[in-house]
Every structure is written in structure tokens, then in C-alpha cells.
Amino acid sequence: MCGIVGFVGHQGDALTFLFEGLKRLEYRGYDSAGIALATNGAVALAKAQGKLAVLEPLLGTLPRGVPLGIGHTRWATHGRPTDLNAHPHTDCRGTIATVHNGIIENYQELRSELIAQGHTFVSDTDTEVIPHLLEAYGGDEDLLGAVREVERRLSGAYAFLAISAKQPDRIVAVRRSSPLIVGLGEGVNYVASDVGAFLPKTRRALVLENGDVALVTPDAVEIQTQEGALAHRAPFTVDWDIKQAERGGYAHFMLKEIMEQPDVWTDCLMGRVRGDHIEAGELGLPWSQRKNIRRIQIVAAGTAYHAGLVGKALMERLARIPVDVAVASEFRYQNPVLDPGTLVLAISQSGETADTLASVSLARQLGAPTYAVVNTVGSTLARESDYVVYTHAGPEIAVASTKAYTTQLLVLTMLALQLAAERGHARSDLVRALWSLPALGEQVLASLGKIVEMARRLATESDVFYVGRGIDYALAMEGQLKIKEIAYIHAEAYPAGELKHGTLALIEEGTPVVAIVTDRVMAEKTLSNILEVKARGAEVWAIVDAGLPQEWPVDHLIRLDLPDPLLSPALTALPLQLLAYWTAVHRGQDVDQPRNLAKSVTVE
């Protein structure tokens, strides 16, 4: 998703900061980038389609030592990824520049109006209406006043920064849904869509609230609410370790994030599991809500949706609460039946996924309590849900979600165990065993060296089936998404017992099938399904619980030392993640930033 960065100082080199800041935002996924500086009464601009390496040589045309500028990484929504569509965008005179995240829904009507007034547009973007409107409203004379006028004209969910070369001491920042954070320095301030962009410069920051318009100068941040009242947003200290946002010696962020899972599981369990009980207060959902739950509706997207499928199985089996799981982009338009007894549980790593946010907003309108399982502290979802629990996975940089997913699984497990205990189905044996997971995770990761070679074989394929039953099927769903998104191999997850109802016709000599078998109750059944595909020539990669008594007549076997199947999903996810990772590496793909994808999908 697009990234925004801005610099305003009494002195200093905005250009160097902006380029470094954009590099730190690369993980969000982008297809073009650009920088604008306010210099000598005009905006100096460099922008290009492609990665920052394409932009870098163009920066030689920009002046050094200029203390005001804005930068952007764009993920195309309106208009193809081209040089002209890249941000920043300027007005007709080239004195005002803007960068923008999100969508201006009424841009076509505004564009026609501005063209009729004589404005000239050079891009296909929705963004370009902003600098032209600012020009029309006198932005060169009074940037803040013009921004206030302009944002009254815009519909949509967005954030933008504006500068004018005629007022070289200020950035005006607007937040309407998409996140913006101000980094507080000495004689210099920064604005970004993500704290990571300015973390090497300052750890003091404040988060703009929805509707805020901020006038950011080198020494001050003046914030107005949507209604125009002055507002105070409390500064805080960012406690992320910058090292957490670096690769830590691994070839890719994804591999680093896979390998650090046992550590983040510890962070996730910390303070929440004590002996044989869960500290319910640490799950963020008060007793007054927990006791009223008759039904749970999970909403999420992508990997978070797959975590929700596991969560459903856990909560139904342990707590005997009925749970539905919906893809957020569908849920928001389904006219769902909700009531105060239905807890709407939203799961999201970023907390900025547009469809998930819209689902929560709808749930609130319909009177259902909302509860978010989120990784990103201070994210929109966390702030707009009635209750929140954080997964504590730390910053996840690779587009493919790994540690965020398994910490979601752990939080859902703790929640299921707590709800079970409160409904008279306590499983203190499972609660006690939760703390064994980090060590088991280390063991599993240490045992998976052979996956590198197993993946080499898979890397030559173009289609693969993932099969399992029950929770193993939910894990198969996640396994197939991983290999699709980073290895670009077509994959399909199937309930193993359903193959014979049609899909078995596709199995022929050499068809790759990844089978997951951790559920002891259904292991014999899944084995039968494996034999069915083997009999038709399939090549099978099987991930099985080493404690199962069966023999596994497969081509590639991974045995995992697993605890109770209800505690195993996070462990079983590890080989699935590594299989996808190494397959992508063998195929030479851009593992951390797969094509067409973004880390945080803040548009519909």
C-alpha cells in the first residue's frame, strides 16, 4: 500500500531523509515512487515508475540542503503505474505539491469542474485533483486555509500531505481514515504513514486521529479536528527496537519472521497465561461482554481469515459457542444478521484493511459489540473497535504474513480456552501446555532443514493441491495462499474427504499434493484420501504428527513433534511457511515484495 513521508525543518536535507524514509516503507508494497522539495518559490520534483532504485539516479536533479519536502511510494489504484501517475502531484503553476494515500471517491466530478475552470491535468490519478483544488482555493497564500476548504470537497477514505513552495516552513497533513503519524524532532518534524519511516531520527510521535488536519512546522504541530476545533494529541514514545525492523542477517524478511516465531509466541503468551489459567483481563474483552456472547462472527481477510477458520474450530470445540467466519469483503455487503449477543471479532495484522474496517463499522451500526485481534498498536481497527487485544508479533515487514498469523492463532486459542472455562468446559491441561509452544516451535524449526530440498522439487510445478480435514483443512487454506502469493504457483486447498466428489479427476501421474495430518481423530480417514491420490499417481508431500501410529506411504515426509491437536496449528504452520518460502527462493521470486500485492490493503 502507498507510503507517505514528509520533512519540515529550519535547516537540514529533506532529500536524504525522504529517500531513506521511503526505503523503510518499501515493505508496504509499491509500484512507483517520488519526492518533491520546496525550493526558491517552486517545487522540484523527481518521480518514477518502479522501485526506488529507479528513482535514485533522478535525485541528482534535485537540490541538496532544502529543509521542506514530501515523498511517496505508490501502489496503483486509479491509473496504471507510470511516471506521470507517480506522486507527488502538483498544481498548474508547479508551486504546490501533494502526496496521498487512499481513494478520493468523487475525483471525476472534481476533475471535470477543475478542467472547466482551466486547470490542466497530466495524470490519470484521483490524487491530482488535490493540488489543483488547493491552487483554486489560494493554497500559495494560505495553505492551511486552502486545505480546510479542499477537504470539505473530498469524499473517500484518505490521507494526504500538502506543501507550497511559497510557504516553505510548513506541511499540512490531513487524515481521513488512512493513518498518519507525526514524528517530533528538535527544530524539525516528520510526518509519515508509518512510524518506521522516521524511527532512526526520533522515537517521539503523535498519531493523528480521523478527521484531523495538522499544521506541521519545524517547532510545532497544531491540530484541528474536522469541526475546526483545536485538538491535543498526546505524544508517546515508540518502543519498537529498530533492529526488529531489519533483516537480522537473514536473506529475506520473511525468513527472519518465520524463524523468530518462537520468540514472538513468548511475547504473545506473556502476562496472559499463568499456570493453569488465562488472565482474562489481558485479553481485552471484559466479563460484561464475555458472559453475553451467544454467537461469534469472525471477519477478516486473507491470512487473517484463515486464522479465523482455526479460531472457529477452537471456539466451537472448546467453548461450544457457535462461530461463523466471513471474508470481510463479502461480509460488508451481505446485510448480515447481527444483534448485541453476537460478538463481531475482527482479525487483522495491520489493523488498516479497508474491508475489515468497514465490516466492524457495519457491525457497530447494527448494535453488535466489536472486538479486534490486531498486531499494530494504534491502528485504525484497534481504535475503532469496542475492545482490542494485541498479538504482539512486532513489525511484520514481508508481505506474506507468517508471525502475525501464528500469533493470531495463539490469541484465538487463549480466548477459546478462557470462554470454555467460563462455560464449564475448562481445559487446564491445555492452558498449562500453552507455554510449551515456544520451545516446541524451536524444535520444529530446527528439524526442518530438509524442506529446502523438498521445495526444490515443488518449485518445478505449476499447480499443487493442499488437503486436510478439520483444522488441518484450515491450515491447508493458509498453506496454499502462501505458495500462491510468493512462489506464484497455482494452488488449491481442498477438504481431503471431498476430493472424490469431483476434484479427484484432476489427479494424474506426478500431480503434487501437500497433505496435512495432525488431527488424531481423522488421521485414518485422511490416510485413506492420501492413498486415493497416490493410487492415481500423485506425488505427495505429507506433514504429519510424529505421534500418529500410521505408516505414511508418501514421497516426501515431514514428521512434527506435536502436542494436543488443538494446540498444534501454529506449529504445523511452520513447515507450510518454509515450504512456500524455499519454493519461492528456488524459483527466484521477490519473496518479500511479491508482485501485485501490498502489505496493507487500505482500499476496497
Among 350, 359, 380, 385, binds ligand M6R (CB under 6 A): 350
Q: Which CB, 171 or 307, lies closer to ligand M6R?
A: 307
Judged by CB under 6 A, does residue 600 bind ligand M6R? yes
Instruction: Cell numbers for 196, please give them.
Output: 518506521
Nearest-approach distance from CB 414 to ligand M6R, in angstroms: 18
Could you tell me how far CA 236 lies from the centroid of its own chain? 23
Q: Which CB, 67 or 575, lies closer to ligand M6R?
A: 575
Contact stretch for ligand M6R (CB under 6 A) within 25-33, 120-128, 215-223, 302-310:
302-310
Nearest-approach distance from CB 596 to ligand M6R, in angstroms: 11
> Residues 1, 29: contact at Cβ < 8 Å?
yes
Nearest-approach distance from CB 21 to ligand M6R, in angstroms: 21
Judged by CB under 6 A, does residue 583 bind ligand M6R? no
- What does the alpha-carbon distance between residue 402 and residue 407 come to, in Å, rounded to a whole number? 9
Among 73, 85, 342, 349, binds ligand M6R (CB under 6 A): 349
Judged by CB under 6 A, does residue 85 bind ligand M6R? no
Cα–Cα separations (whole angstroms), residue 116 to 85, 136, 541:
21, 12, 63
Judged by CB under 6 A, does residue 399 bind ligand M6R? yes
Contact stretch for ligand M6R (CB under 6 A) within 165-173, 218-226, 242-250, 344-352:
344-352
Nearest-approach distance from CB 17 to ligand M6R, in angstroms: 27
Among 49, 297, 401, 526, binds ligand M6R (CB under 6 A): 401
Contact stretch for ligand M6R (CB under 6 A) within 205-213, 348-356, 417-425, 554-562:
348-356
Beta strand 230-231 pairing with 221-224: antiparallel
- What does the alpha-carbon distance between residue 537 and residue 47 come to, in Å, rounded to a whole number? 53
Nearest-approach distance from CB 303 to ligand M6R, in angstroms: 3
Judged by CB under 6 A, does residue 356 bind ligand M6R? yes
Nearest-approach distance from CB 316 to ligand M6R, in angstroms: 22
Beta-sheet strand order (sheet of 32-39)? 42-49, 32-39, 68-74, 3-9, 188-192, 181-184, 204-207, 236-237
Rg (CA), the chain: 25
Phi and psi torsions of 127, nearest 5°: -60, -35
Tell me which residues are annotated as active site: 2, 599
Q: Which residue of this chain has its Cβ atom nearest to ligand M6R in the complex?
A: 302
Q: Which CB, 91 or 485, lies closer to ligand M6R?
A: 485
Q: Which CB, 19 or 75, lies closer to ligand M6R?
A: 75
Among 194, 485, 545, 592, binds ligand M6R (CB under 6 A): 485
Judged by CB under 6 A, does residue 589 bind ligand M6R? no
Q: Which residue, 357, 377, 389, 145, is CA-closest to 269? A: 389
Q: Which residue, 89, 145, 144, is CA-closest to 114? A: 89
Nearest-approach distance from CB 364 to ligand M6R, in angstroms: 18
580 — alpha (psi -120 to 50), left (phi > 0) or beta? Answer: alpha
Judged by CB under 6 A, does residue 348 bind ligand M6R? yes
Q: Which residue, 27, 47, 123, 127, is CA-closest to 80? A: 123
Contact stretch for ligand M6R (CB under 6 A) within 50-58, 78-86, 122-130, 395-403:
395-403
Judged by CB under 6 A, does residue 577 bind ligand M6R? no
- What does the alpha-carbon distance between residue 317 and residue 589 come to, in Å, rounded to a whole number? 39
Contact stretch for ligand M6R (CB under 6 A) within 116-124, 319-327, 347-355, 552-560:
347-355
Handedness of CA 522, 529, 545, 324 (dihedral sign): negative
Nearest-approach distance from CB 598 to ligand M6R, in angstroms: 8
Q: Which residues contact 104 (CB under 8 A, 6 or more apart)?
A: 110, 126, 127, 129, 130, 154, 155, 156, 158
Instruction: Cell numbers for 141, please give them.
Output: 497564500
Among 35, 400, 522, 573, binds ligand M6R (CB under 6 A): 400
Exposure string for 281-304, b = 16+ CB within 10 A, e = fewer = ebbbbeeeebeebebbbbbbbbbb
Contact stretch for ligand M6R (CB under 6 A) within 94-102, 129-137, 345-353, 493-501:
345-353
> Residues 50, 22: contact at Cβ < 8 Å?
no
Contact stretch for ligand M6R (CB under 6 A) within 13-21, 247-255, 301-309, 317-325:
301-309
- What does the alpha-carbon distance between residue 604 and residue 602 come to, in Å, rounded to a whole number? 7
| # binding residues, ligand M6R (CB under 6 A) | 16
* Binding-site string for ligand M6R from residue 303 to residue 322, where x marks contact by CB under 6 A and - marks none: xx------------------
Beta strand 387-390 pairing with 370-374: parallel
Judged by CB under 6 A, does residue 184 bind ligand M6R? no
- What does the alpha-carbon distance between residue 556 and residue 375 come to, in Å, rounded to a whole number? 35
Residue numbers of the site for ligand M6R (CB under 6 A)?
Answer: 301-304, 348-350, 353, 356, 399-401, 481, 485, 600-601
